[in-house]
Amino acid sequence: MSILSIRHLTRYRYRKPVGFGEHRMMFRPLESYDQRLISADLVIGPEPCLIRNVHDVFGNCVAIARFAERASELSFESRVTLDHRPLPAFAGVDGEIEAYGGTMPFAYSPEDMPDLLRSMERQYPDPDGALERWARSFLRHDGRTSLQTLLAEITQAIYSEFRYATRLQGAAQSPAETLAWRTGTCRDFAVLMMEAVRTLGLAAQFVSGYLYCPPRPADLPVKLGGGHTHAWVRVYLPVCGWVEFDPTNGIVGNTDLIRVAIARDPRQALPLSGGWSGEAGDYLGMDVEVEVLSEHDRVGTRAALHGSQPPGQADVALAS
């Protein structure tokens, strides 16, 4: 069990006061058996004239804000505390990891198919079949392929063979572009894996949220995607249900992954979207800060501050 605190700040800056259109926010984590919300606060400046909360078609929590006043800065700060209890992706009744018996070729049951069809539909063109060939390269040719092994190998292949690059704005690359360039962001890698498994007849969805990066020994690689919102994919497997995979970090399961929004397409899971009115040159830029800490991290930070500050200074540093 880990109690995690998440601070997510987005700030837009303008040369002079501008008007703001409706903004949609997806900051609130989805509650389930593996993550329970303890508190959630949202501070917006300038203060909206109206804010309402709705659930979208996927059941995600969406806050919608409207504004009456003009301003030269618009900020959204979300602070969340939650109880995060990740479980193994393939767990038996005793909680221990066990082999999942599903194999390829594979088909969902007639009862599940009507609800899974939209998550099985491919969203991007693959004119020369490069994506399907790449996905099928993970299938065994001398017998049936374990789905558990197949999905783990695709996850690890993206993690080890593709180069991560930060890109905070813009749409996700197409799978064809990511395959050709062998580089991308976490959302590019999520889209690549999502579309690849769809070519094999599996239902997959895009997941947006946060990544907890615990302190690691110097000889272990640092997790990629921290300090910003993060993206990964989940695949539906009978018996197991929806299983999460983070190809950016080679994670199978939801260890250190905090789920906020689930969708068929990344455009349906934007953490923040909205518009403004003014002259084209008024926009100066956007700042994003994401911090995910555990109780243990906070204790360590306090201890470090106390040890590094002169006597009488620690309380001032913490208070600020």
User: E strands along 85-224, which residues?
Assistant: 103-104, 145-146, 163-164, 183-184, 204-211
Cis peptide before 266 (omega within 30 of 0): no
- Alpha carbon of 213 to those of 156, 217, 255: distances in Å? 19, 12, 10
Instruction: With cut-offs at 50, 70 and 90, classify the pLDDT of residue 318.
Output: very low
Task: Kindly list the structural domains of the chain, giving each domain's residue range(s) and its CATH number in brackets, ordered by start.
Answer: 2-83+270-319 (2.60.40.2250), 87-255 (3.10.620.30)
Pairing of strands 283-294, 2-25: antiparallel
Q: How confident is the model at residue 180 (pLDDT cuts 50, 70, 90)?
A: very high
Tokens representing 86 are 């990740």
The pLDDT of residue 229: 94
Q: Is 80 exceeded by the pLDDT of residue 269?
A: yes
Residue 113: pLDDT above 50?
Answer: yes
pTM above 0.75, yes or no: yes
pLDDT in tens, 203-258: 999 999 999 998 777 777 788 888 889 999 999 998 889 999 999 999 999 999 99
Distance CA(52)–CA(55), nearest Å, equals: 10
